Amino acid sequence: MNLIISYFIIGSFFLYYLYKFLIKYNILVEKVDRSSHKKFLFLNDQKSYVGGFFLLITLVFFVFDKNFFFIISLILIFLVGILSDSDVISSPQIRLFIQLIVIIIFVTYSNTLIEDTRIELIDNLLKNNFFKIIFTMFCFLVLINGCNFIDGANSLLIGYFLIVSICIFILSSSESVIFEEESLDIIICCLLILFVFNFFSKIIMGDSGAYLLGFLFGYYAIILANENLNISPFYILNLLWYPAFENLFSILRKIKSKISVSTPDNYHLHHFVFLELKKNFKKNNFNNSLTGIIINLFNFILLFIATIFANHSGYLSIILLFNIVIYLTAYYFLKMRNLKY
């Protein structure tokens, strides 16, 4: 407990002064006109990409200090994001290729592979080790890039994984569940600090932070599922459904519209929620942060219910389907109301 309190106090001051330093010298500062995906919501104030760097420091020195190979993997995936944030790597195809290389090396060397889905067809295919590697790699890629997709409103990405962390922590407090609770303490504390700074529009995660969160929780999800056969894989799907579905849905709608899947746009759910709020509130930063709160309030309720039924695949399937139906209903309803924007 003393470590957690000390980390929270020192970490908060460290992040604040690091943010001030980077803003002063214009280092890792968000360029508002960088992409249509970003400029839509981040309309004023300078924001720093320091969120990903702060998370990396926490993971390297406080969480995985003895897991050298995982630390190297985290640093590599972080560097891909930083190079993207600084426009050194502007090509989505190159970023995807480097992500692919890092993930393949990590999952094969560490043997961090998805073993069970409780879907007979997929489980039969997973008996083949090559397919197991490909499937795990695909899931990592969907999650990592999905995290980047939902990082379009203050408190949305960080808030979502703060909820996920708390749900895993609650689940791991059970005697029948095996998981390293100590690492979750620090991560929850880290995300709470980042959430406050992000909510008040001071810092953003950027590609570097989004990739890190996706990689970290992809790893956690596999470990949680593989070490606890009493936890349904459908619980893992519920935990990570939002960034994964946002990614897959975005790809499908872009294919349908005959545009490149790598082209950023303003047609994500959080964009339409923001536009709806903008009709009633004039302060853009307030609307930005409120967008993340509203979406995550829904996610919190459903993830908490899913945690109660973590070993019931049937109930979890219904919850997952309900999530998707509500998402699509809200998406198309808000799209019709705000299409002129």
Q: What is the pLDDT of residue 177?
A: 80
Beta strands in 169-314, from DSSP E residues, in sequence order? none
pLDDT at 28 over 90: no
Q: What is the pLDDT of residue 181?
A: 58
Across the range 112-121, mean pLDDT stands at: 92
Is 32 in a helix, a strand, or coil? coil
- The whole-angstrom separation of Cα 197 and Cα 185 is 19
Q: What is the pLDDT of residue 263?
A: 83
User: pTM score, two decimals?
Assistant: 0.92
Q: Where does the pLDDT of residue 121 fall: very low under 50, low under 70, confident under 90, or very high at 90 and above?
A: very high
pLDDT, one tens digit per residue, over 268-312 is 999 999 998 888 877 667 888 899 999 999 999 999 999 999 999
Give first-to-last CA distance, the chain, whole Å. Answer: 49
Place of tokens 């702060």: 54
Across the range 21-45, mean pLDDT stands at: 63
- The whole-angstrom separation of Cα 126 and Cα 290 is 42
pLDDT at 266 over 60: yes
Place of tokens 């004023």: 44
DSSP state for residue 89 in the 8-state scheme: S
State how many domains the chain has: 1
Give the CA dihedral 22, 24, 28, 30, nearest 10 degrees: 130
Question: Residue 311's closest CA among 178, 164, 171, 160?
Answer: 171
For residue 241, the surrounding DSSP H or E stretch is: helix 233-256
pLDDT, one tens digit per residue, over 213-230 is 999 999 999 999 998 889
Q: What is the pLDDT of residue 32?
A: 52
Q: Which residues constitute the domain of residue 99?
A: 2-338
Sign of CA dihedral 98, 32, 200, 18: positive
DSSP 8-24: HHHHHHHHHHHHHHHHH
pLDDT, one tens digit per residue, over 47-75 is 788 899 999 999 998 888 777 889 999 99
Mean pLDDT of the chain: 88
Is 135 in a helix, a strand, or coil? helix
Q: What is the pLDDT of residue 23?
A: 85
